[in-house]
Chain A
């Protein structure tokens, strides 16, 4: 099982839930070196085996398949974990529909249906639906409550299908041919004009550019 629950510590008002994950154990040496990730905390359990606490959102975004044998195979490198985290953040950013954050529903808001016989419908007909309709909870808090870890594993497992480059490198030569396909030619597009880039990437931020002109624009405006 990839995810097992960690008994919650004192941070009771924290809105995030933490799980320990076996996928990230190999990252411990790096984390111990002091370069702790922003939302993770690292501790050791009694057996001396490092336990990595994971924000469930990150986990959800940084999960590999669970139904293959990779569980027993090499564990993810710190670099891989870092990459997956970056990708997840980026996806959250792109999935926003507009720059302005979404809004809260005002207390006095009600939709008056032509079919409802009372205008109390927003409040709920039974105690259960009252609770659901007034929940105002985010996804994290529902994950926190979910007791069926099998289900969580399944859901997280399917969520993102990452390629673990370390695993690809480690594959025996015979298997390699099969795996090599994963190294399909990557697109290198200029971050300024969108052309194909034959240059190496910007040493500062890692984006590609296609020409001296574009690089100049990049240095002036986009490079962080």
Chain B
């Protein structure tokens, strides 16, 4: 069998994994919940296995390999990877010894934890070749059409754990400009959980439901105060799961008839007050003078930490990555906030990759990278790994101290 390329974006929420099949752009990654889950009956499920347990969603508990964005628990990650490989190659033999792995990990991992990962890759799975990098560094490899300048890109990556702002210049991360906002999918879920549990029903042990409600109802207000004043008009009704007619719950459409004993959640300001945390982090903390910078502050800082000539180019080539940037209005609100802050003669623009979901941008970039000759120059082979020892990978792939 000939050599194959596998790209894994090892996100804290889900894994995006897939082979480079050589065909063009419409291949999509397999997505696997990056967790072990325990249902109320005590059973433990790996990856997406829990999805067959829809009637057991209530009270489900997640165990993740990540601790504050760091991959600490390989005893949790290993079964999920095994499961992922089974999903990827359900029939044919999966042979790491002829496979090149491109692994995407979040920035600024503790070096020792990255080294653990390298050791698992070579010693446990026995991959033949390996390249490890951050999500943002692969974004310039994605085709954003001919109007974009991929040599200068400002990547805003908002996933589950945090929002990273990463300038990527000539396809390398400009580490001095990297900023992090501790607001992303998980914090929004936490806020929504508190609000709904206080005002409506106790959903503190319903992580899947909370996430569904967020995805179905939340949006970013273009103008927060305006939205607040017209919140009656912006209200929607979410039908809670009864595990007979619906297992996930859904937003009621005007004409939907529902059973008389259905439980409804009437959501108004919750819909946009929660995501407002990106711009008003003081919402999170309930502390009025919260000393947290907001998304706008950090994006401006990030740009200003880059060489002067690069700054307007970065603002004109912003790329949104990660599932949380799929919140409705994410882009338009960001543009209007940044336009207010940045010099008026700078173009502020978000570039979009046609047909690529926001949470698949980095994975797509990884696939494109493996089509390029440069991949062989940056790859570490199993032979080199055993020659140079485990620190070799961190030296090649690790972040730069700033």
Contact = CB atoms under 8 A, between A and B. Distances in A.
Interface of A: 60, 66-67, 80, 83-84, 86-87, 90-91, 93-103, 105-106, 109-111, 113-116, 121-122, 124-126, 128-129, 132-139, 142-143, 145-146, 148, 150-155, 157-165, 181-182, 184, 186-189, 191, 194-196, 201, 206-208, 222
B83 A113 contact: yes
A211 B82 CA distance: 56
A126 B124 contact: yes
Given A83-B289, A100-B59, A129 B86 contact: no
A132 B298 contact: no
B392 interface: no
Contacts of B5: none
Interface in B170-219: 175-176, 178-182, 186-187, 189-191, 194-195, 198, 204-207
Interface stretch (B70-78, B137-145, B313-321, B355-363): B70-78
Nearest to B38: A103
A113 to B, nearest CB: 4
Given A103-B63, A113-B86, A126-B124, A160 B269 contact: no
Contact of B292 (A113, A154, A161, A222): A161
B68 A129 contact: no
Contacts of A80: 291
Interface string B262-300: 000000111001001000101111111111111001100
Contacts of B83: 111, 113
30 contacts: A84-B291, A90-B285, A91-B182, A95-B187, A97-B62, A98-B204, A102-B61, A102-B62, A109-B44, A110-B79, A111-B79, A114-B90, A115-B85, A125-B123, A129-B119, A129-B120, A129-B123, A132-B74, A133-B75, A139-B110, A142-B70, A154-B402, A158-B108, A158-B179, A161-B179, A162-B292, A188-B288, A194-B228, A194-B273, A206-B288
A95 B70 CA distance: 14
Given A90-B285, A132-B120, A136-B75, A165 B186 contact: no
B260 to A, nearest CB: 28
The SS class assigned to the A binding surface is loop
Contact of B61 (A103, A133, A135, A146): A103
Given A115-B93, A155-B108, 4 more contacts: A102-B62, A105-B36, A110-B79, A138-B67
Given A124-B124, A206-B288, A186 B280 contact: yes
A96 B64 CA distance: 11
B44 A158 contact: no
B246 interface: no
Given A84-B291, A98-B206, A133 B178 contact: no
A189 B283 contact: yes
Contacts of B297: 161, 181-182
Nearest to A162: B291
A139 B67 contact: yes
A88 B273 CA distance: 21
